[in-house]
Amino acid sequence: MQIDDLLQFMVRQGASDLHLKAARPPLLRINGKLLPLKSEPLPVEAVRALLMSILDDRQKAQLETEFYVDLAYSLPGVSRFRATVYFQRGSVSAVFRRVPFEFPSLDEWNLPEVLKEFTTLPQGLVLLTGPAGSGKSSTLAALIQETVNTRPVHVVSIEDPIEFLITDSTGCASQREIGTDTRSFAEALRNTLRQDPDVIMVGEMRDRETTETALSAAETGHLVLSTLHTNSAAQTVDRIVGAFPEAQHRAIRLQLSQVIEAVICLRLIERRDGEGMVAAVEIMKGSPRVRKLIADGNLPELYEEIERSVGYERMQSLNQSLTALVVNGVVSRDRALAESPQPADLDLMLRKLLLPNQGGAAPEDDMAVSSADYSHILRLQEVQKAYDELQERYQRELTERDALIVRLEEELRGQNQAGSTVEGTVRALTEEKEKLARQIVFQKQELEGKIEKLQMRIRDLTSTPAGSGIYRR
C-alpha cells in the first residue's frame, strides 16, 4: 500500500480528511463523521514508511526537532492536500485534508451576498473565524480570488502551507509559503509591507507579533484578511485583545475598533438531506455602534447589536443564520438546536415563525441568494406586515365611502330640488369606490404572490427538503 493509493481512495469516497496512526486502520472523515476503513490496523513501521516517503530532508529534520511538520502534497489530476505529520504516543501519525485544484467562487458557494462587499474595501481588517474544518481557508481563498478578479491590485498572501492557488486576473497575487519562501508569519508580514501590496492575506494570526503587524498594516492603508480559531465575533475581539499584556488592552481595543471591517464566523452543519455539509454564517460589520462597543470593551452587547442590525447593516448572528437554514429546509430543527451556542434563544426564534420540529419548507429558487442569509427572512416578514397594513387601510377607506354614499342618498331623498346635483355626486363616489375596489384586487394579488412563498415556508412543512449548500458533494 502506498500513500498515493490511500489519497486516491479518499477522493473517490468524497472524504474531507484522511487520518493515519499506528495500530488503527486508516480513517476517513465523510460528511463530518470519522469512519474506519475495512482493513487491517497499520503497524508502526508501516505508518512511518508511508509518511517519510513524502517528506523532503528539511521536513524530516523539522519533524525530528519540533515533532511536527505542516506541508502541501499534490497528486496530479486528482487533488491537492494539506498535511500535518506529528508524533503521538512516540510514533508518527498524520492527517491529510483534501484541497481541490479548483475551488468554488463566492457565487457558487451560496454564501450571503454581503460577503462580496468586503472584497471592495480599500483598507481595514477582515477576519474569518470558526473551528477547525469549518471552511475558513477555502472561503478566504474565494474572497481573495474575487478581489483579484475585480480589482487592479497586488495581493500578497502568507500561508503555511499554500492550499489554494490564486489565478492572476485584473489584479495579481504573490503567494508565499512558510518554510519555503519565508521563515515565519511575522517576518514575512514585515517584509510584505515593502512589496507594494494593496491587499495582504495572512493564513492565520498565530502570535502577538503577527497580530500586532497585521493591525498596523490595516491602520496604514492596506486591506488585511486573516483567520482565527474562534467561534463568535465577541470571542474574536477578546482573543485579539487577550494576546497582549493587560497594560496594552485599552490601546489595542481602540486600535482594533478603528480598523475592524468585518468578522465572519463559519460553522459547518450537516444537511437535512444527508448530502454533505452547509455553512451557518455569523457576520459582524464595523458599524459606528460596533466600533464603540469594541473601544469601550463592552463585548456582551456585541451579540445583541449584531441581531438588531440584520436589516440595515445586513449583519446576522449564528442563530439567525441557523433559523434561515431551517426555514429554507436545508438543516433540520434538531440539528440546528444542537449546533447553536444559545439553543434556547434559537428555539424561541423558530417558535415565533411557527415552525414545528421537522423543519421548514423548501424554498423556491428566487427567494434567497443564500439559504443561510437571515436578511431574506426579515424582508418576507416585512412584506407580510405591509400587506396586513394595506388591507386594513383599504378596508377603512371603503367603509368611509360607504357611509358617505348612504348619507348623500338620504339627502337626495329629502331634497328633491337639489336631486340632480346630489345624484351626480353619488354617481362619482360610486365610480370612485369601484375604482378603489379594482385597485385593491390588483394590489392584493401582487402582495399575495410575494407572501405566498413565506406562507409555504412556515406552513407547508411536508415538502421535500431542497436548497443548495456550499459543501454539497
pLDDT recorded at residue 471: 46
- Cβ atoms within 10 Å of 343's Cβ, excluding its own: 14
Helices marked H in 353-418:
374-414
The CA distance from 49 to 55, in Å, is 10
**Per-residue model confidence as pLDDT tens digits over 76-122:** 989 999 999 999 999 999 999 998 888 888 888 888 999 999 999 99
- Cβ atoms within 10 Å of 364's Cβ, excluding its own: 12
Range 192-227 burial, b when 16+ CB lie within 10 A, else e: beeeebbbbbbbbbbebbbbbbbbbbbbeebbbbbb
Sheet holding 277-285, edge to edge: 172-177, 154-159, 199-202, 223-228, 124-129, 260-270, 277-285
DSSP conformation class of 246: G
Which helix (H) or strand (E) segment holds residue 47: the answer is helix 44-52
Say what the pTM is.
0.73
pLDDT recorded at residue 354: 56
pLDDT recorded at residue 384: 64
User: Phi then psi for 86, rounded to 5 degrees?
Assistant: -150, 170
**Per-residue model confidence as pLDDT tens digits over 140-158:** 999 999 999 999 999 999 9
- Segments of the chain with pLDDT less than 50: 355-368, 461-462, 464-473
Helices and strands: H and E segment counts in the chain: 15, 13
